[in-house]
Amino acid sequence: MSERSFYVRWGRYLLLVALAIPLYIWSWRTADINLVDLIQGAPKARPIISDLVRPSLLARERVTLSVSAVVRVPCDAPPPEPPPAEGPTLTLSATCLNARDSLVVSGSGFRPNTPGRLYWRVAGLEGRLRDEPFETDAQGRFTVETDIPPLLAQQGGDHTLEAELKWEAGALRPSETLRTTIDKMIETVFLALMATTFGGLVAIPLSFLGARNLMPTTPWGTTLYVAVRSFFNTARSIEPLILATIFAIWVGFGPFAGVLALSVHTIASLGKLYSEAAENIDPGPIEAIRSTGANEWQVIWYGVVPQIVPPYVSFTVYHWDINVRMSTIIGFVGGGGIGLELQRWINQLQWNSAATAVWAIVLVVSAMDYASAIVRERLV
Amino acid sequence: MERAERVPQPAPPNGRRLAPLLSLLFPGAGHIYAGRQERGLWIAVTAATLLTLLWWLKFWSLLPALVPFWLWNAWETRTIVQGRRPSTVKLVLSAAIIVYAIGWRVTEIDVQRLAAGAQKIRPFVVSLVRPYYVDREVTYAAFPAPVQVPCGEEPSPPPAGAGSGPTIVPTPACASVGETITVRGEGFPPNVEGELWWENPIGDRVRLRSGGEFVTFVADEQGTFEVKVTVPDVVPRQFQESAQLHTVEARYVRDVGPWRLTETSYLVAQRMGETIAQALMATTWGAIFAVPLSFFAARNLMQFHPLALLVYYLARTALNVLRAIEPLIMAIVFVVWVGLGPFAGVLALTMHSIAALGKLYSEAIESIDPGPIEAITATGANRVQVVWYAVLPQVLPPFVAFTVYRWDINVRMSTIIGFVGGGGIGFLLQQWIRLTDFRSASAAIWAIALVVTVLDFFSRKVRERFV
Amino acid sequence: MLEVRKLTKVYDDGTVALKEVSFTVPDGEFLVIIGLSGSGKSTLLRCINRLIEPTSGQILWDGVDITAAGQEELRRIRRQIGMIFQQFNLVKRHTVLTNVLTGRLGYTSTWRSLLGLWSREDRARAMRNLELVGIADKAHNRADELSGGQQQRVGIARALMQEPKLLLADEPVASLDPATSHSVMKYIEWMNRERGLTVLCSLHFLSLARRYGTRIIALRAGELVFDGRPEEIDDRRFKEIYGDEAIEVEIR
Ligand SMILES: Nc1ncnc2c1ncn2[C@@H]1O[C@H](COP(=O)(O)OP(=O)(O)OP(=O)(O)O)[C@@H](O)[C@H]1O
Ligand SMILES: [Mg+2]
């Protein structure tokens, strides 16, 4: 008997394995598992990982200094002498040029040991052309040799040569990324709060309709119960991101679409949790209160409500937590929150910025997780 | 706050009349003065947070919404000074006013837009009841006639010769974009209904509309009809200068074939398969990695040495951090890493599953009964035997239950992982919604609902059996 | 012979559970340990097979120092010491038979035990032991389907599988009703009398201790406060052990 049971048991395991293997082979191929890609792609992931630990948080203000001089093309008459200036000055080897002439630009009185670059501003045109880079020496001087770009040579006139220096100065302040991240995280948390509130408010009355024990056993009552429950189950199975895509068409891009999408999802999931909680209440206290001669409203107020408030609050807080998680991605489809910025930063390979957003998400989500766990513990 | 309330209240000394004033100065100050430090601190922190929020968002116009909280907090200290118990619910409600005011603003809630956009979403709602799973093959009888756009020097083409079958005649036979011409049909089957199409010289076809509605015709008893159509703006750029021959076409349904599955159905089935396979792979890989990790993240197993405890904290933190990042975010990263396709999705879901399962598993390990372990150890069994006979039987059922549940969740998640190029049905669904092909989108949505509901049911059954 | 010398246990949180407890147990004795809840009975018993590591002191068994044994040797010692528990400590999801067979783990190689390949003799022995405790018909039931008394008998059968020379019983009947208590105690008594096992058994009820013990030791706040024959415990001693407020209850 025991020997047999041994073979029966292992035989059953073998059968299970035999069934699982084809399923796994099929899944493996359908899901396109390709470990070679994973390993070969690793170099691409390296900058991501290394930037992930260096989120962009603080930055110094960038100071730009630019000094210009006028060059006349072609060289028919020298341009008017610029008035002698204080501070940084540019000195040119020639103030007028013909095509393919070379030009030596030297500067003095600049900020020492600072990188800079020359630019050409074409007469009568917007924008400027990039030219040679340079770096000032310890005395704040530099010399660069350049020639006039062909475009400028063609287009005669008084062109402006600019020497521009950039450096970081001033106190550290939150970087632009950090400020955007904070803005968007505030939006994310409030998005979740509004959705949880709206969803919860609608779910409460619906949950009574979806609770077997609270619905009368008339055909109408049963129909309503089944309808509400099916709505809960179907709507719950549609991810809020899909709903957000639809609401983005409806009300346009922005957090409002996200609020609506999350609200609908919240109605369904909270509705289900609520009605299950309502089904699980203890009939004892209700009987006891009814036996005191209380009317139906009194029975509900003193017998039902005290029993459902703690689980309802606990589920709601729990769902706020879930909604915060979801609202971090709802922006991917235009639903507001941090998602849009995060996606943009990742697509533009700005991993430092993406890291800022990711760490902000980790921080906020973990905090919510922790807080909601504490609140729920206190309630139970 | 709760706990502080259970502390016996000392009789308030007389000098504490100042408390409401202090709380009016800054919320919570009076509470602290009146001996309710914890509550006071909470209130002060709340007020500071709200003020910081207002400052950061530059929502100064919402300051009035802060007034109820400010006043209530001061009023409350009076209750405290009188030795009565303040109502936390009312305080929270007064703070809720400002919180929701900010929330309403931040999330740009706009009921008007909801009403105004309803028109745009109607086709979607209508399509929801008509998922595009089956259709019938339809063959058309089509009758073209040339139209010159715009009128030029070249002679207008002769009207199509009146043969035996149906013919249509546009008058005038030349027009510019936006002008209206009359199309007259003859010899059509009596009472037949049909549509009008336009084809430009390079073969692009559009169905003609007028005022947003498609143009249709209905032939009379004699088989003739007359409709007005507007020349659509489909003139290719390279032909804009000269007059060209376009074609107007009347067509009606000649034959309707049997019902058949649509291309959409096949696509949905294929992608749903991909979704399920993805979820299965991710769950399996997740479980494989989560099991060993969970042992490191179980406090009761890691208390034998300070170093082990350190490992425990590291494992726990790693799991929590990983769990906080939605798989969709990870999917974007993996798309960069391994390229578009279901594999990226599998990797993202795997990472998230490791974190989620690792946490659940380790909690299951932490809640096992030490009794059997003690008993088996006492028989002289070695460590492996103890794990096999005392630990595994206790943790296996919850492990199985959690894993099946994860598969269920992973299927849900992999329905959207395609939004960022991670494979599964999400990509198609998003495309269809963007292209306003709502009937196909509806087909995908119902397929998701079906699969998810079935899996939900199945996983619930498995969990019930195992726990 | 079991010799406990100056055994001390201080828990990590500073609780002193045992203070220099010394006593000897000659072979074949039925030693009952009594004492208030929290007096250190469980700690003492668990120190003997080192489920709890003693802080200091020695435990000599037939001249071998258990406290100094290495892992391998400890396992060899453990398999000669049976133990039964107040909460039975069965693996609930396993069958009764498997639970009983786990008593042989110390004698079975790891790979055989992982595959569940128990030897023919072990299976036969398990069925014999289940017959002895009168629940052979439940061999293939899951352990959690049994009543408390039946579960404790499975626990006894498991201990018997080890063919132990020493049996440690930590309040074996504390979760059972009086009648079942006696039936379980009778099995332990039988093991002591017929199989010649030395028994160390902690009990809550003095009446049970008097009825079954050949010798009683008493702990109070981790200190040995009494060591003698059952009939020596009079009213004064009783108050000494259990405090002034206690009244003795009879269990029949
Ligand atoms: N793991 C532990 N860590 C810290 N202190 C412990 C631990 N286990 C027991 N103690 C303490 O050691 C003392 C002795 O406990 P022990 O369990 O040995 O008492 P006991 O006599 O068996 O009590 P009971 O009759 O209730 O089973 C108690 O004060 C208890 O609180
Ligand atoms: Mg004890």
pLDDT in tens, B336-389: 888 888 999 999 999 999 999 999 999 999 888 989 999 999 998 988 899 889
| Nearest chain C residue (CA) to A2 | C123
Q: What is the DSSP letter of A348?
A: T
Cα angle for residues B175, B181, B185 (degrees, 5° grid): 130
* Distance between Cα B161 and ligand 1 center (Å): 110
Decide whether any atom of ligand 1 lies within 6 Å of the C11 Cβ: yes
Residue B4 lies in a domain: no
- Residues B278 and B405 grouped into a single domain: yes
- Residues B294 and B147 grouped into a single domain: no
Task: State whether ipTM is beyond 0.90.
Answer: no
- Please determine, for residue B97, whether its predicted confidence score (pLDDT) is greater than 60: yes
| Chain A contact for B99 (CB, 8 A cutoff) | yes
Q: For chains A and B, what is the number of CB pairs under 8 angstroms?
A: 184
Residue B223 lies in a domain: yes
Residue B319 lies in a domain: yes
Last residue of a domain, one of B194, B226, B257: B257
The pair of three-digit structure tokens given for residue A186, joined into one six-digit string? 């505030």
Residue B123 lies in a domain: no
Last residue of a domain, one of B224, B257, B290: B257
pLDDT in the model for residue A223: 92
Nearest to B380 among C79, C87, C110 (CB): C79
The structure tokens 């792609």 sit at: A41
Subunit contact B332:A343, Cβ cutoff 8 A: yes
Cα(C218)–Cα(C225) distance, integer angstroms: 6
Residue B226 lies in a domain: yes
DSSP-derived 3-state class of residue B195: strand
- Please determine, for residue B108, whether its predicted confidence score (pLDDT) is greater than 60: yes
Helix boundaries (H) for B297-416: 306-324, 327-338, 342-366, 370-378, 383-386, 392-414
- What chains are in contact with B, requiring at least 3 Cβ pairs below 8 Å? A, C
**H/E segment holding residue B432:** helix B426-434
Top-confidence range, A360-369, B113-122, B330-339:
A360-369
Dihedral of CA atoms A247, A250, A251, A257 in degrees, nearest 10, equals: 0
Decide whether any atom of ligand 1 lies within 6 Å of the C39 Cβ: yes
Q: What percent of chain C has pLDDT over 90?
A: 48
- Please determine, for residue B467, whether its predicted confidence score (pLDDT) is greater than 70: no
Q: Which domain holds residue B153?
A: 137-257
Q: What percent of chain B has pLDDT over 70?
A: 93
pLDDT in the model for residue B7: 47
Last residue of a domain, one of B257, B287, B313: B257
- Residues B230 and B204 grouped into a single domain: yes
- Residues B290 and B400 grouped into a single domain: yes
DSSP-derived 3-state class of residue C218: strand
Q: For chains A and C, what is the number of CB pairs under 8 angstroms?
A: 6
Decide whether any atom of ligand 1 lies within 6 Å of the C17 Cβ: yes
For residue C39, the ligand 1 atom closest to its alpha carbon is: 21
Cβ–Cβ < 8 Å for C207, C22: no
- Please determine, for residue B2, whether its predicted confidence score (pLDDT) is greater than 50: no
Cβ–Cβ < 8 Å for B293, B315: yes
- Please determine, for residue B155, whether its predicted confidence score (pLDDT) is greater than 80: no
Sheet arrangement for strand C215-220: C81-84, C166-170, C198-202, C30-35, C215-220, C223-228
- Residues B201 and B270 grouped into a single domain: no
Cα(C88)–Cα(C86) distance, integer angstroms: 5
Mean pLDDT of A69-98: 74
For atom 3 of ligand 1, the residue with the nearest CA is: C11
pLDDT in tens, B317-334: 999 999 998 899 889 888
* Distance between Cα C31 and ligand 1 center (Å): 20
Mean pLDDT of B107-119: 88
Cα(A298)–Cα(A306) distance, integer angstroms: 12
Residue B293 maps to which CATH number? Answer: 1.10.3720.10
- Residues B304 and B230 grouped into a single domain: no
End-to-end Cα, chain A, rounded Å: 49
Q: Which site among C11, C91, C114, C154 would you substitute to test the B interface, given the most B Cβ atoms closer than 10 Å to its Cβ?
A: C91
- Please determine, for residue B3, whether its predicted confidence score (pLDDT) is greater than 50: no
Handedness of CA B453, B457, B458, B464 (dihedral sign): positive
Q: Number of folded domains in chain B?
A: 3
Cα(A203)–Cα(A247) distance, integer angstroms: 20
Residue B204 maps to which CATH number? Answer: 2.60.40
Q: What percent of chain A has pLDDT over 90?
A: 25
For a ligand 1 pocket test, name from C15, C33, C170, C171 the mutation site with the most ligand atoms within 8 angstroms of its C-beta. C15
- Residues B269 and B244 grouped into a single domain: no
- Give A125's pLDDT tier (boundaries 50, 70, 90): confident
pLDDT in the model for residue B442: 92
- Residues B102 and B179 grouped into a single domain: no
pLDDT in the model for residue B456: 87
- Residues B181 and B298 grouped into a single domain: no
- Give A112's pLDDT tier (boundaries 50, 70, 90): confident
Subunit contact C91:B372, Cβ cutoff 8 A: yes
- Residues B148 and B92 grouped into a single domain: no
Decide whether any atom of ligand 1 lies within 6 Å of the C26 Cβ: no
pLDDT in the model for residue B1: 38
Cα(B137)–Cα(B236) distance, integer angstroms: 31
Mean pLDDT of A305-310: 86
- Give B6's pLDDT tier (boundaries 50, 70, 90): very low
- Residues B378 and B460 grouped into a single domain: yes
Decide whether any atom of ligand 1 lies within 6 Å of the C87 Cβ: no
pLDDT in the model for residue B120: 83
Query: A312 CB contacts (<8 Å, ≥6 apart)?
Result: A204, A274, A277
Nearest Cα to Cα of residue B154 among B220, B239, B79: B239
* pLDDT tens for chain C, residues 1 to 252: 899 999 999 998 889 999 999 999 999 999 999 988 889 999 999 999 888 899 999 999 988 999 998 888 888 899 899 999 988 888 888 889 999 999 998 898 888 888 888 899 999 999 999 998 889 999 988 888 899 889 999 999 999 999 999 999 999 988 888 888 888 899 899 999 998 999 999 998 888 898 999 999 999 999 999 999 988 888 788 888 887 766 666 555
Nearest Cα to Cα of residue B415 among B427, B405, B406, B432: B427
Cα(B253)–Cα(B258) distance, integer angstroms: 14
Subunit contact A31:B343, Cβ cutoff 8 A: yes
Residue B460 lies in a domain: yes
Q: Which site among A238, A251, A272, A346 would you substitute to test the B interface, given the most B Cβ atoms closer than 10 Å to its Cβ?
A: A251
- Please determine, for residue A191, whether its predicted confidence score (pLDDT) is greater than 60: yes
Cα angle for residues B439, B440, B443 (degrees, 5° grid): 90
pLDDT in the model for residue A270: 94
| Chain B contact for C35 (CB, 8 A cutoff) | no
Residue B128 lies in a domain: no
- For the ranges A4-8, A77-81, B399-403, which has the lowest average pLDDT? A77-81
Mean pLDDT of A39-49: 82
Residue B184 lies in a domain: yes
- Please determine, for residue A1, whether its predicted confidence score (pLDDT) is greater than 50: no
The pair of three-digit structure tokens given for residue C105, joined into one six-digit string? 């783990």
SS3 content of chain A, % helix, strand, coil (to 5): 60, 20, 25
- Residues B251 and B269 grouped into a single domain: no
pLDDT in the model for residue B13: 52
Q: What is the DSSP letter of B130?
A: S
